[in-house]
Amino acid sequence: MATKTPYQRFIKNLKDAMEVLKLSPMEKKLLLEPQHNLKKSLSIKRDDGKNASFPAFRIQYNNARGPYKGGIRYHPEADEDEVKALAALMAVKTAVVGIPFGGAKGGIQCDPKTLSARELQELSRAYVRAFKEHLGPDIDIPAPDVNTTPAIMAWMRDEYEKLTRSYAPAMITGKPLSYDGSRGRDTATARGGFFILQELIEGEALDSKNLRVVVQGFGNAGATMANLLHGAGYTVVAVSDSHGGIYSEDGIDPVSIEKYKKKTGSVTGQYCKGSVCDTEKMKLDRVRQVSNEQLLELPCDILVPAALDNVITGKNASKIKAKIILELANGPTTPEADDILQKRKIKVIPDVLANAGGVTVSYFEWTQGRSGEQWTDDQVDRDLKRVILTAYKDVRREVHRRKIPYRQAAFILGVKRIVEAMRVRGWVSNG
Ligand code: GLU
């Protein structure tokens, strides 16, 4: 099957795992489609007084292991198929790290860059009004994803509490610290990936000082990862955002990039205004402008896709120079690319493991919301490290035992755990 859409790509990986696990026809049927596909149209009044409506989704893939869990993304390309794939990936992810959640995802098809703060708040509140019956601390717990922030989580919680006349800090995660958020949630996705990478390179007796890294995407996950890597002695040779990237063989300083990104809106802001760049200054600093496509093919040891899906494909997989790919984004690598990368012996640490730090600290936030406790930074960091490295070792064991790539091993482990839960619940007969 040629995999053209995000959900088809998920199904390809799911089917491979289901084959190995020898699932029954009933078990397969339950995993091939989400339990609930919720779709609404959200209407808001724009600042110019006109009405506008936006398609919105909440897709609940599976809750055998616990309440549905997963972020909400705001993006012009967020459609039903993409949100479906992301919801399914969440279920595999929560199972891989062994936290008591199922998987869901939400999306609003919009371009948040064109919305004012007031419009953004209106839209976020409209989302909660539209799906309120399907959300709740024991039902389905949203969180941030692409283009959604702690401030948006706060509006959503506020709307939910007003509608339900309740106090519900555990109905959503990724909230601001001042509104029952958890310490360490903002850096959790990158930190989880970083712990795995450190373990991996130690296992291969490599030294971070000799390793060059390329990071695609400079949102929360990508920027934090670039900083962590730089701080640990790796040479970050290139970073990018949706406008493009910059590359320097000598390494770049993510802290100064972040400063300029805040000021100018782009990682190339230090050198370029729109498409016009100060080439003299770039030459002097030994820096070069690259496109997002070129960035993926740069000479480096580790590639960290931390932006959107479908960027490493059958077209460019043979040109990737990295030896390790750590997926902080969801779904960046297609099955066609996976086949090529496997033949080339490039290690891919898959999204369902590499970026699971985010939902893991969301779990800590949820438990804090339910108990009223407040964890310290150390507590969060220690438990995140424990959970993520346990998952990494579980997956690695499957890799070595079955001589398969990490993605396949992670899917086998995750799907097995979901099916076990479906069996004990009596959704499917045992065996
Ligand atoms: N959006 C993040 C992810 O894809 C976090 C989800 C969550 O914390 O529930 O894993």
Domain boundaries, the chain: 37-166, 188-349
Taking the C-alpha atoms of residue 291 and residue 331, their distance in angstroms, rounded to an integer, is: 20
Q: How far is the CA of 361 from the centre of ligand 1 (A)?
A: 9
Which residues does a 6 A CB cutoff place in the pocket of ligand 1? 69-71, 143, 145, 173-174, 330, 355, 358-359, 362
pLDDT band at 275 (very low <50, low <70, confident <90, very high): confident
Taking the C-alpha atoms of residue 224 and residue 343, their distance in angstroms, rounded to an integer, is: 31
Q: Any bridge partners for residue 320, and if so which?
A: none
pLDDT band at 187 (very low <50, low <70, confident <90, very high): very high
Which atom of ligand 1 has the smallest separation from the CA of 185?
8
pLDDT, one tens digit per residue, over 328-373 is: 999 999 999 999 999 999 999 999 999 999 999 999 999 999 999 9
Which atom of ligand 1 has the smallest separation from the CA of 146?
1
Question: Residue 1: its pLDDT value, please?
Answer: 55
CB 191, CB 212: distance < 8 Å: no
Q: How far is the CA of 210 from the centre of ligand 1 (A)?
A: 32
- Out of 84, 93, 105, 385, the active site residue is 105
Sign of CA dihedral 327, 108, 384, 237: positive
Question: Residue 2: its pLDDT value, please?
Answer: 62
**Residue nearest (by alpha carbon) to ligand 1 atom 9:** 70
> In sequence order, what are the residues at sequence separation of 6 or more whose Cβ sits closer than 8 angstroms to the Cβ of residue 212?
234, 235, 236, 237, 251, 299, 300, 301, 302
Q: How far is the CA of 49 from the centre of ligand 1 (A)?
A: 34
Q: Which of 384, 406, 383 is nearest to 395 (CA)?
A: 406
Question: Residue 241: its pLDDT value, please?
Answer: 95
CB 87, CB 65: distance < 8 Å: no
Taking the C-alpha atoms of residue 157 and residue 121, their distance in angstroms, rounded to an integer, is: 12
Q: Which residues of 387-420 are buried (b: 16+ CB within 10 A; e: fewer)?
A: bbeebbebbbebbeeeebbbbbbbbbbbbbbbbe
Question: Residue 124: its pLDDT value, please?
Answer: 98
> Given a cut of 70, is residue 431 above it in pLDDT?
no
Which atom of ligand 1 has the smallest separation from the CA of 93?
10
Question: Residue 207: its pLDDT value, please?
Answer: 94
The owner of tokens 């919720």 is 38
Q: How far is the CA of 189 from the centre of ligand 1 (A)?
A: 8
Question: Residue 330: its pLDDT value, please?
Answer: 97
Q: How far is the CA of 145 from the centre of ligand 1 (A)?
A: 6
What is the SS3 string spanning 379-401? HHHHHHHHHHHHHHHHHHHHHHH
Q: Average pLDDT for residues 179-196, to the nearest whole number?
A: 98
pLDDT band at 151 (very low <50, low <70, confident <90, very high): very high
> Given a cut of 60, is residue 375 above it in pLDDT?
yes
Taking the C-alpha atoms of residue 60 and residue 113, their distance in angstroms, rounded to an integer, is: 27
Which residue of 60, 355, 365, 388 sits with most ligand 1 atoms within 8 Å of its CB, as the best mutation to test the pocket? 355
Taking the C-alpha atoms of residue 344 and residue 349, their distance in angstroms, rounded to an integer, is: 15
The CATH number of domain 37-166 is 1.10.1040.10: no
Question: Residue 430: its pLDDT value, please?
Answer: 67
Question: Residue 111: its pLDDT value, please?
Answer: 97
Q: Average pLDDT for residues 148-159, to the nearest whole number?
A: 98
Question: Residue 274: its pLDDT value, please?
Answer: 79
Which residue of 86, 189, 353, 360 sits with most ligand 1 atoms within 8 Å of its CB, as the best mutation to test the pocket? 189
Shared fold status for 37-166 and 188-349: yes
CB 245, CB 332: distance < 8 Å: no
Which atom of ligand 1 has the smallest separation from the CA of 174?
8
Which residue of 86, 153, 172, 359 sits with most ligand 1 atoms within 8 Å of its CB, as the best mutation to test the pocket? 359
Question: Residue 429: its pLDDT value, please?
Answer: 86
Q: How far is the CA of 359 from the centre of ligand 1 (A)?
A: 5
Q: Which of 97, 186, 181, 101 is nearest to 385 (CA)?
A: 97
Break the chain down into helix, strand, coil percent, rounded to 5.
50, 15, 35
Q: Average pLDDT for residues 288-317, to the nearest whole number?
A: 97
Taking the C-alpha atoms of residue 71 and residue 140, their distance in angstroms, rounded to an integer, is: 10
Taking the C-alpha atoms of residue 428 and residue 24, their distance in angstroms, rounded to an integer, is: 9
User: 188-349: which CATH architecture?
Assistant: 3-Layer(aba) Sandwich (3.40)
Which atom of ligand 1 has the smallest separation from the CA of 355?
10
> Given a cut of 80, is residue 3 above it in pLDDT?
no
The owner of tokens 């045992």 is 430
Task: Tell me how crowded residue 342 is: count the other CB atoms within 10 A of its CB.
Answer: 17
The owner of tokens 């899906």 is 309
Which of 50-59, 189-198, 271-280, 360-369 has the weakest average pLDDT?
Answer: 271-280
**Residue nearest (by alpha carbon) to ligand 1 atom 7:** 359
> Given a cut of 90, is residue 110 above it in pLDDT?
yes
Q: Which of 58, 70, 64 is nearest to 359 (CA)?
A: 70
DSSP for 27-75, written as a single string: HHHHHHS-SEEEEEEEEEE-TTS-EEEEEEEEEEEE-TTSSEE--EEE-
CB 296, CB 306: distance < 8 Å: no
CB 349, CB 356: distance < 8 Å: no
Q: How far is the CA of 146 from the centre of ligand 1 (A)?
A: 10
Known active-site residue 105: yes
Which residue of 74, 182, 362 sits with most ligand 1 atoms within 8 Å of its CB, as the best mutation to test the pocket? 362
pLDDT, one tens digit per residue, over 53-95 is: 999 999 999 999 999 999 999 999 999 999 999 999 999 999 9
Residues in the chain: 431
Q: Average pLDDT for residues 200-229, to the nearest whole number?
A: 96
Q: How far is the CA of 71 from the centre of ligand 1 (A)?
A: 5
